[in-house]
Amino acid sequence: MHNDIQEVLFTQEQIEAKVAEIGKQLSEEYEGRNPLIICILKGAFIFMADLVKQITVPVEMDFMAVSSYGTSTRSSGEVKIIKDLDSSVEGRDVLIVEDIIDSGLTLSYLVDVLQRRNVKSVKIATLFDKPARRTVDLKADISGFILPDAFVVGYGLDYAEKYRNLPYIGVLKPEVYSS
């Protein structure tokens, strides 16, 4: 285990099993369709890469980057599109792939943006979810793991751009924040 990690919440094996389960569920849900899967950068890139390998229907992929956190651990409440989609979403079945939902601000903003672009449908698959922290009314269609109110890193998630490459998800030692 990495020296800065206090506790592993979900292991690499547990995450792998969950991602396979979500992939199966999505393959059934989108049977006969051709969804456009949108990865929210940067946090969701590992989940996206592992998930699409488990989806058996034909899919297209696109990537979007939004700002929410900077290097602090709390949302500013402001959402800005840093990198927009390359493709048109009009009339498409869109699946948003997100790493974690916290306040829900980021995704409620994005769902709004996509609906104004006249998508046919929009669903959300998040690997991690902290429902206790919602400040807006937003529910994911698929939530992999429910997390306690703790800041987590690994499997794509960072603290100050570090720890994204850890294959598990864990809680940092408090001294890492204060140093």
Q: Catalytic pick from 102, 129, 137, 149?
A: 102
- CA–CA separation, 170 and 148 (whole Å): 12
Q: Produce one character per residue of 1-39: b if its CB has 16 or more CB atoms within 10 Å, e if not.
A: eeebbeebbbeeeebeebbeebbeebeebbeeeebbbbb
105: contact with ligand XMP by CB under 6 A: yes
Q: Which is nearer to ligand XMP, 30 or 109 (CB)?
A: 109
154: contact with Mg ion by CB under 5 A: no
Map residues 33-72 to x or -, x wherever contact with Mg ion holds by CB under 5 A.
Answer: ----------x-----------------------------
- CA–CA separation, 157 and 13 (whole Å): 17
103: contact with ligand XMP by CB under 6 A: yes
Supply the minimum distance, in Å, between the C-beta of residue 85 and ligand XMP: 17
Question: Is 84 marked active-site?
Answer: no
3-state helix, strand, coil in the chain (%, to 5): 25, 30, 40
Q: Which of 96, 106, 143, 172 binds ligand XMP (CB under 6 A)?
A: 106
Query: Which residues are part of the catalytic machinery?
Result: 102
Interacting residues with Mg ion (CB under 5 A): 43
